Amino acid sequence: MSDVTKLPEGAPEEVVTKALLREVDLTPFGFTGKLALITLDNGYDHNRPNTFGPVSLQELDAAITAAIAAKPAAIGITGKPFIFAAGADLSGIAFLANREQALAIGKLGHDVFRRLGECGIPTFAFINGLALGGGLEVGLHCNYRTLASTALTGLPEVFLGLIPGWGGATLLPQLIGPEKAVQVIMLNALNNNTMLKAKDALALGVVDAVYEPADFLEHSMDFAAQVLSGAKKIARADFSSDANWDSAIATGRAAALKKYGGATIAAPERALKLIGESRTATRDSGFAAEDLALADLTMTDSLRASLYSFNLIQKKRKKVEGAPKPALARKVSKVGVVGAGLMASQLALIMVRNLRCPVVMTDLDQARVDKGVAWVHSELAKLVEKKRMSEETARRLSSLVTGSVDQSAFATADFIIEAIFEELSLKQELFKKLETIISPECVLATNTSSLSVEAMSEGLKNPERVIGFHFFNPVAIMPLLEVARTSKTDDATTATAISVGKELKKTMVITKDAPGFVVNRLLTRFMGEITDAMDEGTPPEIADNSMRQIGFPMSPFELLGLVGPGVALHVAETLNKNLGPRYRISPTIKRIVEKQVRTFYIKDSDGKFIANPEAVALIEKGTNPSTADQVRVRALTAIAQEARMMLDEGVVSSPAEIDICMLLGSGWPMHLGGILPYLDREGISESACGQLFHPKAVASLP
């Protein structure tokens, strides 16, 4: 390994992926000859996937050299059980001190991988498990690819702020054509890093055959033998004259602009440029261009921010800060849902799908109950239609969801969540009534977005079993779950709630029972500054577009339409009452709610979104307008101030908890990193609060 590819002192030590070589006789598969099989294995179980750092690349290079020297009929490469390779080892990127290092590591990957496609011996990738990024690119350098039916694969680099830089951006478009390549490299990555299932990878032409995992290697050897003997022919198309190159690139660019609210982001642009150039690129020219793009992107703040976001999300999925010992959790064998409206019905659906236990819904009358239960049954049926669930499973789950107007149906429940109207007195009355029906150990959870959980528990015999369990809409898609403990909530209740949340596959943050918890408190403060600027006389289009330049997928007023002006006003009024006048009540929003205007934007006759004249007519006529930049700084300053107060109040345990909440609960852009590191980098933290939120992170930037 050259000095230039060595990571500086202090960087995490590379977990080396060994490349183990053995000889396989293909005679039993009908071909007389030997295959040199390289197995990638980092020595860990499947919880630690194979990755490629500089030393691992050298290990693979040595194995390829030894394989070529043995003069086999073919060379194959596979992975340890369940894992092929998860790509580059990204843990050391933040420690790269200069562009030369980044360029050298990119070139090293190309130099090693391309040997598999240029050694003059037929090469096969037997992709037996997860293959992402550089893991898939190893396979693309081979002449042929098989894939296990249970394996997921894809190129997530654009999602992280990179490009497929070890051959993917050049080889994949040449293999499957521009439209399909844009789908894999761009559209899937921008769609929350969607990975390819085996059947999709086969349909797209990314792989040549798919086999079941039980005898995957045997079938793959048979595939190789048939190719080598000539019994199986794999045709490759020439896409250089394809008429769809320009339209494919345009589709990718439109998707990126939509994802980032019209802002131009470096990684998607560089990826699209490479895809376009691959039409006529040689391996030398294509790989050289990838090296340059990878080096440029690696040294940006944007990549460091994306990796912070990605690593934080992965960490918080696995561990909930401040959670009691899991052994304290009680078993949940029956769930009650109070309410049968849309939110309550979504809660019932996610509970029955994941907990696989009886779920009973209640509401004020039978018609509402029937409508809620029918909605859940209908959604289960849709999953069958989409082939995401078997008919048998759907029937069984449907039978578990029932409804009643009598809350005595909750008598044997272990966990009850309410999703009724956001009125404190109603929730207090509900919990007091439920306490006369249920066992003392049954958890009472509330899906409130802004009301005091502790106030709901006042007057109860067992206030220790009340907890906030705040989901985000739509429940099935939004990954965040805020778990709010009161001063009385005990560890058994919290542990049970955390256990349920894990079964629901949610990323959880434990918060103090404070108004608005984390996401609604910050978003409401942020939105308040935008609407205040408009009320003061800033044209609505300037106020609403003030955050576009940093890549939000949705403007503040578009978000307001999604949430609903009535909900937003209710939360603002609650926070104004509990946190003071910095949460001002916008006269414009009050009028919009009173007049029942749903949104700031409507579609015109051509299907384009335009300002809603009804909403525009209700805007406060202020005389003190601001510029877009002034509005942006004002809104970000408010977030910094509020975040500092939340940390001082102990609403959450660390700045990272605020970051994860905003990433997963409000759609804060990945490429900006957490919201607080972004405020640090922009100088907002120091100007608003006199200190950074993440001083070490800022200090480590190049």
Point out the catalytic residue in the list 157, 454, 482, 642: 157
Q: What is the pLDDT of residue 11?
A: 64
Residue type for position 622: G
Residue 196 near residue 153, CB atoms below 8 Å: yes
Task: Please tell me whether residue 508 adopts helix, strand or coil conformation.
Answer: strand
Domains and CATH numbers, the chain: 1-155+195-232 (3.90.226.10), 157-193+237-299 (no CATH), 326-512 (3.40.50.720), 519-650 (1.10.1040.50)
Residue 190 near residue 255, CB atoms below 8 Å: yes
- Helices 266-277 & 283-298, crossing angle to 10 degrees? 180
Q: What is the pLDDT of residues 249-295, one digit of tens each?
A: 999 999 999 888 888 889 999 999 999 999 999 999 999 999 999 99
Q: Is 71 exposed, middle or buried (0-12, 13-18, 19+ CB in 10 A)?
A: exposed
Q: What is the pLDDT of residue 701?
A: 47
pTM across the whole model: 0.88
Q: Is the peptide bond before 474 cis (omega within 30 degrees of 0)?
A: yes
Q: What is the pLDDT of residue 699?
A: 44
Q: How far apart are CA 409 and CA 425, in angstroms?
A: 23
Q: What is the pLDDT of residue 3?
A: 56
The half-sphere exposure of 179 on its side-chain side, counting CA atoms within 13 A, is: 5
Q: What is the pLDDT of residues 350-395, one digit of tens each?
A: 999 999 999 999 999 999 999 999 999 999 999 999 989 999 999 9
Backbone angles phi, psi at 540, to 5 degrees: -55, -35
Q: What is the pLDDT of residue 559?
A: 85
Categorise residue 267: left if φ over 0, alpha if ψ from -120 to 50, beta otherwise: alpha
The segments of the chain whose pLDDT lies below 70 read 1-11, 697-702
Point out the catalytic residue in the list 9, 23, 137, 422: 137
Q: What is the pLDDT of residue 6?
A: 65
For the question of residue 157 being annotated catalytic, the response is yes
CA–CA distances in Å: residue 677 to residues 93, 320, 659: 17, 21, 8
For residue 399, the tally of other CB atoms under 10 A from its CB is: 11
The CA dihedral of 344, 348, 349, 352, to the nearest 10 degrees, is: 170
DSSP string, 640-662: HHHHHHHHHHTSSSSHHHHHHHH
Task: Please tell me whether residue 211 adopts helix, strand or coil conformation.
Answer: strand
For the question of residue 212 being annotated catalytic, the response is no
Q: What is the pLDDT of residue 93?
A: 79
Q: CA gyration radius for the chain?
A: 28
